[in-house]
Amino acid sequence: MDVMTSGSWVHCGREFSAREVADICATVAWLPGLARSELAATLCEHLGWVTLTGTAKTGACLEFLQRLQAAGLLVLPAQRAKRAHRSTARCPAPPRTAVEALVEESPVAGPLSALAPVRLEVIRDTALAAQWDELMARWHPLGFQGAFGYRLRYFITAGELRLGCALLSGAARAVAVRDDWIGWTVQARRQNLPRVLNNSRFLIFPHVRVPHLASQVLGQLARRARSDWLEHWGFAPMLLESFVDPRQHAGTCYRAAGWQLLGETSGRGLARPGRSYHSTPRQVWVKPLGADARDRLCAVSAAAC
């Protein structure tokens, strides 16, 4: 949750000193003719407020400016009306793909050695991503409503067979047992959290009954995650995490793949003003992507994150 302490502000993991806030307010006053998006881009450039890939955090900057305006510290330019498109006719939505046509649902059983080499196929094509979403929504116990932010979808394949799906996405913002195990300070967590990836969905299709398949895939995921993420997003992760409901699963496949059980979540979730969130505790499993992963996650650079 974002907080303000002794003249400094924290927003989206970055702390702004009282001097920086004063400079922001002055810049807004000097440039009243800029559109809000242009103003945010300008401020991001001045502040060096960028993602790990060097992209300006304009969305976060706009939110911060709105917070400062709500506090009475500045006045933003009036929002400009969006231009209407020349044609308001909407293109018809494409017909929904039948899930049954996406995967051959004949039973797949037997020893792992009897399958063609099992591979993780990175999904980059929009049509394949839509198929992946549809299969995950149908068969995963938690369902699926879309992936946002940094993410990487995989199909689990063996020759022409599709056996399941996996998803890597942004890490949970705060997990006590994980943060204590890493040894994070508040600033190190703010700066290095993007380098932790969450295996937020993992699914072997229900008609696939192959012993040791899940652990083989999780091991392969840990070996590939660093290079795949670097190629796709431009920066290298250092740690994988995943959460397992102990009422449903024992986490055996994670243990067999060399992941480490740290403990359980509190089940409380993040506190938000006026809202409460409750769940059941989840096991917290992690897999470092390198022998020095914890040391690197604890390092804090002089530059603002």
CATH number of the CATH domain containing 221: 3.40.630.30
Q: Under a CB-based contact definition with an 8 Å cutoff, are residues 183 and 298 in contact? A: yes
**202 assigned to some structural domain:** yes
Same structural domain, 133 and 262: yes
Same structural domain, 25 and 168: no
Q: What is the DSSP string of 120-155?
A: EEE--SHHHHHHHHHHHHHHSTT------SSEEEEE
Q: Under a CB-based contact definition with an 8 Å cutoff, are residues 281 and 267 in contact? A: yes
Same structural domain, 226 and 150: yes
Residue 173's φ and ψ, nearest 5 degrees, are -65, -40
Same structural domain, 211 and 121: yes
Phi-psi category of 199—alpha, beta or left, where left has phi over 0 and alpha has psi -120 to 50? beta
Per-residue pLDDT of the chain (305 residues; tens, 9 = 90+): 344 444 788 888 788 888 889 889 988 887 777 788 888 888 887 787 877 666 778 888 989 999 999 888 899 988 876 655 444 444 444 444 455 567 778 899 999 999 989 999 999 999 999 999 999 999 999 888 887 778 999 999 999 999 999 999 989 888 999 999 999 998 899 889 999 999 999 999 999 999 999 999 999 999 999 999 999 999 999 999 999 999 888 999 999 999 999 999 987 655 445 555 556 899 999 999 999 999 999 998 754 43
pLDDT confidence of residue 274: 52
Range of the domain at 150: 99-298
**249 assigned to some structural domain:** yes
Number of domains in the chain: 2
Closest CA to 102 of 73, 123, 80, 78: 123
Same structural domain, 188 and 235: yes
Same structural domain, 138 and 52: no
pLDDT confidence of residue 103: 78
In the chain, where do the E strands start and end? 4-5, 8-11, 14-16, 108-109, 118-122, 151-158, 161-170, 196-204, 208-209, 239-244, 260-264, 283-288
Same structural domain, 149 and 259: yes
d(CA 305, CA 301): 8
Amino acid at 101: A
Residue with the two structure tokens 């994670």 = 254
Same structural domain, 174 and 285: yes
pLDDT confidence of residue 79: 84
